[in-house]
Structure 1
Amino acid sequence: MTLKSDPISYPPRGLNREEAARYIGVGLSKFDQLVADRRMPKPKRLDGRTVWDRVALDVAFSQLPEEGQENFFDRAAATKRQ
């Protein structure tokens, strides 16, 4: 399949695992850990491909705590221990 050139430049919406990890700025093992503990979204399946939605990655990344701030996961774990 040959793709036609497009005069409009835009980032791809679907990213493979390596691209998704690079997009948020981490290595593959850290990305896998973030997906496993649900700090990053699970992928979508497109036939035989596993693809992460760039917009969902943006939302998840925005919800990560800034340095020195408590996040949802820390609060939930603290509540569960009580």
Structure 2
Amino acid sequence: MVAVRADPIAYPPRGMPREEAARYIGVGTTKFDEMVADGRMPRPKKIDGRVIWDRLRVEATFTDLPDVENALNPFDRVF
């Protein structure tokens, strides 16, 4: 059996393929594609033949999405 060494610099990848970018914000790939098409998510970068989303741009764009107004917080019901 081969011992697997842990990466001493554990970090999330900066670039993500479409499936990972969609999963990162909690939606499916179809919804992610819609969000890219209508500008709610950033467009990808192209590296040779690969299409990659910048994790930091996806995260920043997600942060800028509007919050749900009048959303019920389950903790508001706790006495």
Q: Same fold (TM over 0.5)?
A: yes
Counterpart for residue 22 of structure 1: 23
Say if 2:10 is the partner of 1:9: yes
Which of 1 and 2 has greater Rg?
Answer: 2
Q: What SS does the aligned partner of 1:6 have?
A: coil
Length-normalised TM-score, structure 2: 0.78
CA–CA distance in structure 2, aligned partners of residues 68 and 37 of structure 1: 21
User: Structure 2 unaligned runs (5+)?
Assistant: 1-5, 71-79
> What amino acid maps onto 1:64 in structure 2?
L
CA–CA distance in structure 2, aligned partners of residues 38 and 46 of structure 1: 21
Q: What SS does the aligned partner of 1:9 have?
A: coil
1:1-82 matched pairs, under 5 angstroms: 6-68=7-69
CA–CA distance in structure 1, aligned partners of residues 61 and 45 of structure 2: 15
Tell me the percent identity: 60
Q: Which has the higher helix share?
A: 1
How many residue pairs end up in the alignment? Answer: 65
How big is the shift at 1:6?
3.2
> What amino acid maps onto 2:39 in structure 1?
R
CA–CA distance in structure 2, aligned partners of residues 20 and 6 of structure 1: 22
Length-normalised TM-score, structure 1: 0.76
Name the Cα RMSD after superposition: 1.3
CA–CA distance in structure 2, aligned partners of residues 43 and 10 of structure 1: 21
CA–CA distance in structure 2, aligned partners of residues 54 and 27 of structure 1: 16
Shift >6 Å, 4+ stretches? none
